[in-house]
Chains A and B, each alone.
Chain A
Amino acid sequence: MSSSIERSTAGMSSDRRTFLQRMAITGVALGPGAAFLSSCATGGGGDDEEGGGSEPTGDVSEDNPLGMPEDGTVEIYIFDGGFGDAYATDVHQPIFSEKWPDVTIDHNAAVDIAGELQARFVAGDPPDFVNNSGDGQLDGGQLITDGQLHSLEELLDAPSWDDPATPVRDTLIPGTVEMGARDGEMFALNYAFTVFGLWYNKTLLDENGWTVPTTWQQMMDLCAEIKAAGIAPWVYQGVTAPRYMNWPLLTMAAKLAGPEILVPIDNLEEGAWGHEAIRESAAAIRSLKENDYFLKGVEGMEFRDAQGLWARGKAVFCPSGSWLENEEADAIGEDPTFEMAMMPQPLLSEDAVMPIETVRATAGEPYIVPADAKNPRGGMEYMRAMLSVEGARGFTDTVTSLTSVAEANQGVEIQAPGLSSAKDALNAAGDNVINWMYPTWYPTMENPGIDQATGALLRADITVDEWVQQCEKVAADIRKDDSIVKQTREG
Chain B
Amino acid sequence: MSALRHGKYPFILTFLIPPVGIYALYMLSPYVQAIYISLTEWSGLSANQKFIGFDNYVEMWNDDQLRTALRNNLILLVVVPVLTLVLGLFFASMLNVGGRGRSQAITGVRGSSIYKVVYFFPQVLPHAIVAIMFAYVFAPSNAGGILNNILEAIGLGSLTQLWLGEPKYLIWIVVLVMTWAFVGFYVVLFSAAMQSIPRDIYEAALLDGSSRLTTFRKVTLPLVWDTVQVGWVYMAIQAMDGFAIVHIMLGVNGGVQGAGDVLGVAIYRAAFADYDFGYAAAIGVLMLALTMTIVVLFMRVLRRERVELA
Would you list which residues of chain B between 195 and 243 have a CB under 8 Å from chain A? 196-198, 223-224, 226-227, 230
Q: Does A337 contact B (CB under 8 A)?
A: no
- Rounded to whole angstroms, the CA-CA distance of A8 and B164 in the bound complex is 40
User: Which residues of B does A touch, CB under 8 Å?
Assistant: 18-19, 22-23, 25-26, 29-30, 33, 36-37, 41, 43-49, 135, 138-145, 162-166, 192-193, 196-198, 223-224, 226-227, 230, 251, 253, 255-258, 272-276, 306-310
Sample (22) of A-B pairs whose CB atoms are under 8 Å apart: A3-B308, A4-B309, A5-B226, A11-B192, A23-B22, A23-B23, A42-B33, A114-B272, A121-B45, A142-B45, A145-B43, A295-B142, A300-B145, A300-B163, A300-B165, A300-B166, A301-B140, A447-B253, A451-B253, A452-B257, A456-B257, A483-B276
Residues of A within 8 A of B253 (CB): 447-448, 451-452
Query: B308 — which chain A residues lie within 8 A by C-beta?
Result: 3
Question: Interface readout for A15-45 with B: 1 if CB under 8 Å, 0 if not?
Answer: 0000010011001000000110010111011
Q: Check if A142 sits within 8 Å of B47, measured CB to CB.
A: no
Is A44 in contact with B18, judged by CB distance below 8 angstroms? no
| Residues of chain B contacted by A124 (CB below 8 angstroms) | 47
Complex CA gap A121/B45 in Å reads 6
A1→B309 contact, CB < 8 A = yes
Per-position 1/0 for A107-125, Cβ under 8 A of B? 0000000100010011110
Q: Give the segment of A204-212, A302-310, A323-331, A375-383 that binds chain B.
A: A302-310
For residue A2, give the distance in angstroms from its CB to the closest CB of chain B: 8
A121 CB contact (under 8 Å) in B37, B46, B144, B192 = B46
Interface status of A469 (Cβ within 8 A of chain B): no
Tell whether, in the assembled complex, residue B25 and residue A38 are in contact, meaning their CB atoms are under 8 Å apart.
Answer: yes
A residues sitting closer than 8 Å to B (CB atoms) are: 1, 3-5, 7-9, 11-12, 20, 23-24, 27, 34-35, 38, 40-42, 44-48, 114, 118, 121-124, 136, 138-139, 142-143, 145-148, 238-240, 295-302, 305-306, 309, 314, 443-444, 447-448, 451-452, 455-456, 459, 483
Say whether A309 contacts B143, CB under 8 Å: yes
Seed contacts A5-B306, A138-B45, A239-B164; 20 additional CB < 8 Å A-B pairs: A4-B224, A5-B307, A9-B226, A24-B18, A27-B22, A38-B26, A41-B33, A45-B47, A121-B45, A139-B43, A139-B45, A142-B43, A145-B43, A148-B46, A295-B142, A296-B142, A297-B142, A301-B140, A309-B143, A452-B256
| B143 near A297: Cβ-Cβ < 8 Å | yes
Residues of A with C-beta under 8 A to B41 = 483
B140 touches A297 (CB 8 A): yes
Chain B residues with CB under 8 Å of A300's CB are 138-140, 143, 145, 162-166
The CA of A10 and the CA of B272, in the complex, are separated in Å by 41
B196 CB contacts on chain A under 8 angstroms: 4, 7-8
Determine how close the nearest CB of chain B comes to the CB of A312; give it in whole angstroms.
10
A403 to B275, CA, bound (A): 29
